[in-house]
Structure 1
Amino acid sequence: MTDGPVPGKRITIRDVAKSAGVSYQTVSRALNDKGEIDTTTKQRVLDTAKRLGYRPSRFARGLVRQDSTSVGLVIPNLLNPYFTEVAAGALDAARRKDWHVVVYDTADDERQELSTLGMIGSQVDAVVGYFSQPDDVIDRYTSGMPVVQIGRTDVGARFGEIRVDGEEGVHAAIAHLASTGRRRIGMLDHDHHHQPSVRYSWYCDAMREHGLPTFVAEAPQSIEGGQRAMAAMLEKHPELDAIFTYNDVIAIGAMFQARLLGRRVPADFAVIGFDGLAIGNMVEPPLSSVRIDTRKVGETAIDQVGQLLSGTRPEVATIKATLLLRGSA
């Protein structure tokens, strides 16, 4: 008899039936509070379902075809085109499997993330996405469900894991700027919880390699945030001749602001973002960036869900970023 949830495996009604020593139909009657079942048996079934971590799916109860798998994609901000591109990759991969994807936007808010985790178990068969909550919290809310975490490292053993490694790409970006004569290269990092990002550490390491000083400021992850942060940075450090940013959205705002302040991009001021989004081709000059294959991130997440649903924990997937030179650097 199973003693508890099996890591990485979705608990089914048949699992509950086998553990409780009853038929599939008896479990269905107990869970749906139907008649023709005695009180003792019903309670045994309910206790077994709770112990195993069984979560009934609204989709499995009829919102979509019963033979279809539904995946919840949890992202912090749909307005950020990075997450839109990741979602597009996941949707394409899911369509090839004839699966359904439900997208949840947590607005980069911890309370909203908890609320989403609280309801997601009854709506989907598996979860992929970006989470700020610790593993034990995610596990508590998604017990028995396959979960793939994106963009984090050293997650719990029952989770799928996709890492984004931009270290070589950031080093290549700084090396390129240094080779073109830039010596005052700043960084606009994100302002999430006022904690430096891993991209900040990559920037600092790369700057040390070239014996260059660091100049860092925080920026909200938006075009307007990039504009405001760039204005403040250039007021404090007018000697800057290049900027590297946490992501492309911030970079586009920074580039707009630098040009408003009379800087010629890239003649006397270079700009390099991070993500390599398609939107970078829509600005003038086109934005150079440390590029992530965003669609591959989404596709890999769906592939890992498939492995978890089959009872196998996938190997950690690492998506490496590379330098993409366009017109801004």
Structure 2
Amino acid sequence: MSEQQQPPRRVTLKDVARLAGVSHQTVSRAINDKGEIDPDTRRRVLDAARELNYRPSRFARGLVRPGATTLGLIVSDVVNPFFPELIAGVIEAAEAKGWQVLISSTQNHQSREPEVIRTLAAQVDVLIGYLSEPDATLAGATEGVPLVVLGRPVHEPAFGGVVVDAAAGVRAAVAHLVASGHRAIGMIDCPTAAGGVPDRRPAFLAAMAEHGLTVADDAIIGGSPTVEDGEARFTLLRAARPDITAVFTFNDLLALGAYRAARRLGVSVPGDCAIVGFDGLPIGELIDPPLTSVAIDKRRMGAVAVAEAARLLAGEPAGRVTLPVELVVRGSA
């Protein structure tokens, strides 16, 4: 077949976006008559689509419910008990807006984040994610899809962000332990936490200094945010510093591991060593004694993230929201 006889190339969504001067996600929202788009922009997109005789493919139209705004949610590990409440908060807030939600996981592999983002970006209107990769890497993968990043500071102007006031939570935990008479306080930190969450060592050191207390290097030990590492790190900490009477952990999973180690070592909680976690997981109420923890309202975090996503879809400037935390005192400290 000669070049003149070849069938014309199918007009794509990106062709329309190029002619209209918008992102391909904006074209998708305009063609599907979704509400979060300026009327003048929608008119320009539709004019471009008519000029090019654009017809959406049946496959593309089948990816999502016609006319619905679709949100993509990315978490690092759906098995981690931190995330179910967050996911529930996102779904509840999204459904209240008539949105649908697609959920994906990086399975604790940071290197998979760009791939997962690109896959979801082809199917959704906006993204929310616990993500570790640098902002520039994330921006390159979103292909113009609005993104709200959870759990860590963001510097990309186009990204929305939702974090918790972790430093205030650490201060509250240390103040409670000091008020309970503890002076030798150790910490199990997590410098490589999923989701790019910063380690809490600086906040811990600052809080101890506020009470006139110093912390030796061997009183802080790092690990991964798992029950298994909590058990291993508490064992090492007790061996190195048997004088420590209280331990603050980066998250509740590490605290649960510390419980397991304490029981195995014959260490009474809180008699011999008090333990304070961070996250406020429901499972902390089921152990004996119940875990004292800095609680994050994970459902609220999900709802606030959806609200920030709606702002981005409406063309408003990206926001940065910091959520408060609460120290819930129970039997472990």
TM-score of the superposition, structure 1-length normalised? 0.83
1:227 aligns with one of 210, 226, 231: 231
1:20 deviation in Å?
9.4
Asked if the contact 2:193/2:224 (under 8 Å) is kept, the reply is no
> Structure 1 stretches of 5 or more lacking a match?
35-56
Q: Structure 1 residues 119 and 84, CA, compared in 2 at 3 Å: closer, same or farther? A: same
Q: Which residue does 1:88 correspond to in 2? A: 88
In 2, the alpha carbon distance for the partners of 1:17 and 1:182 equals: 66
- Given candidates 22, 45, 55, the residue that maps to 2:48 is 22
Q: Which runs of 4+ in 1 moved over 4 A?
A: 1-6, 13-17, 193-196
* C-alpha distance in structure 2 between counterparts of 1:179 and 1:114, whole Å: 46
Question: What is the Cα deviation at residue 280 of structure 1?
Answer: 0.9
**Distance in 2 (alpha carbons) for counterparts of 1:212 and 1:184:** 8
Letter in 1 for 2:54: S
Structure 1 residues 196, 135: closer, same or farther in 2, change over 3 A? closer
Aligned equivalents of 1:26 and 1:16: distance in 2? 15
Partner of 2:213: 212
Query: How far 1:313 moved relative to its partner?
Result: 2.5
The aligned counterpart of 1:312 is 316
Q: Is the 8 A contact 1:189 1:197 kept in 2?
A: no
Q: What letter is aligned with 1:311?
A: G
Structure 2 CA distance for partners of 1:115 and 1:64, relative to 1, 3 Å? closer
CA shift for structure 1 position 17? 8.1
User: Which residue identity lines up with residue 28 of structure 1 in the other structure?
Assistant: Y
Secondary structure in 2 matching 1:66: coil
Please point out which of 233, 238, 258 is paired with 2:262: 258
| 1:77 alignment partner in structure 2 | 77
Shift of 1:228: 0.8
Partner residue, 2:62: 62
User: How big is each residue's C-alpha offset from its partner over 1:2-27, in whole Å with a ceiling of 9 and x where there is no partner?
Assistant: 65549xx8443656983696344845
| Match in the other structure for 1:49 | none
The aligned counterpart of 1:184 is: 184
Partners of 1:63 and 1:241 lie apart in 2 by 56
State the percentage of identical aligned residues: 35
Measure, in 2, the Cα distance between the counterparts of 1:291 and 1:86: 13
CA distance in 1: counterparts of 2:206 and 2:79, whole angstroms: 31
In 1, are the aligned partners of 2:129 and 2:148 still within 8 Å (CA)?
A: yes
* Structure 1 Cα separation of the partners of residues 46 and 99 of structure 2: 30
Shift of 1:325: 0.4
Partner deviation per Cα, 1:304-324 (whole Å, 9 max, x = no partner) = 111111111253211111211
Aligned length, in residue pairs: 301
Q: How big is each residue's C-alpha offset from its partner over 1:165-215, in whole Å with a ceiling of 9 and x where there is no partner?
A: 121221111111111111111110114189994421111101111222321
Greater shift after overlay, 129-138 or 18-27?
Answer: 18-27
Query: What do the CA deviations read for 1:253-304 (whole angstroms, capped 9, x no partner)?
Result: 1122112211111122100001111111111111101111111110111111
Question: How far apart, in 1, do the equivalents of 2:326 and 2:193 lie?
Answer: 27
- Alpha-carbon distance in structure 2 between the residues aligned to 1:142 and 1:155: 15
User: Aligned to 2:244, which of 228, 240, 245?
Assistant: 240
Whole-Å Cα distance in 2 between the matches of residues 196 and 124 of structure 1?
25
Return the offset for 1:143.
Answer: 2.5
Q: 1:25 to 1:295 in 2, by over 3 A?
A: farther
1:150-189 matches, cutoff 5 A: 150-189=150-189
